[in-house]
Amino acid sequence: MAIDLILRREWNARPPRGDYTNLDRTRGVKVHYTGGRVEPALVTDHDRCVALVRSIQNHHMDGNGWMDIGYSYAVCPHQKVFEGRGPHHLPAANGAGLNAGHYAVLGLVGNAGLVQPPDAMLHGIVDAIEHLRAKGNAGREVKGHRDGYATDCPGEPLYAWVRRGAPRPGGTPNPPAAPPFPGRLLKYPPVMTGQDVRTWQEQMKTRAFEIEVDGAYGPASRDVCRRFQRNQGIEDDGVVGPLTWRLAWEAPLP
């Protein structure tokens, strides 16, 4: 996997004030925007990108009193990924009580000026997400900052892209949406039976798991569920809840 990574020393980042809190794994990544005006000249002047990332770090450290820039990575319109706190380090940008669940990736667009993320920026955000999965044990979730926190972040254009599954521009079509969640958790014990169980088993079989499609959720189905959950980087509790159900259809095939 290629990533055009700009290390902290290369953008002249200030050193953090202290040690990072370690993260073993996360459920995924949350996408952010600056929340202010971003000059459209960034698209043609990369030096402005470097200056903006420095100014964001200064604001976070001097204005917010944080130990460092709050993001794991920041991405500019040239598909370059600026190293922030990096993998296995707790971010600060998601909100109190929410940072341990997801890494934080910033796209350098705002609510005025440069609002629409260029394709190269979207590619760079995907690069950062894939890098965090490979190096930081990030799970499959890709969400916006507003998912769980009262904010407009990451702005309507970027959030619409996140809601579409954060695809690469010009990439393969997104997988079909999952059917509606049946409304009950599929778990064992006791053995649960029904059409919803059969529907889920059929999808697991489509994903190449060895599973009997018998409409009965017992220990074998639970074991398949756990293996699938581990593959997706989410809690492997063996229970088919809303997230596990959705990922059964929408997660990329291996």
**pLDDT score of 175 more than 70:** no
How far apart CA 84 and CA 87 sit, in angstroms, is 9
Domains of the chain (ranges; CATH) run 5-163 (3.40.80.10), 192-250 (1.10.101.10)
> Which residue type sits at 148?
G
Give every CB contact of residue 9 below 8 A, 6+ residues apart in sequence: none
In tens, the pLDDT along 122-152 reads: 999 999 999 999 999 999 899 999 998 999 9
What are the helix (H) ranges across 103-150?
119-136
- Closest CA relative to residue 128, chosen from 231, 15, 6, 25: 6
In tens, the pLDDT along 59-112 reads: 999 999 999 999 999 999 999 999 999 999 999 999 999 999 999 999 999 999
Give mean pLDDT, residues 237-246. 94
Record the pTM. 0.70
DSSP tag of 106? E
Alpha carbon of 82 to those of 42, 57, 213: distances in Å?
15, 12, 47
**pLDDT score of 183 more than 60:** yes
Give the number of C-alpha atoms closer than 13 A to the C-alpha of residue 249, restricted to the C-beta side. 14
H and E: helices and strands count for the chain: 6, 10
In tens, the pLDDT along 24-72 reads: 999 999 999 999 999 999 999 999 999 999 999 999 999 999 999 999 9
With vertex at residue 96, the alpha carbon angle to CA 92 and CA 101, rounded to the nearest 5 degrees, is: 70
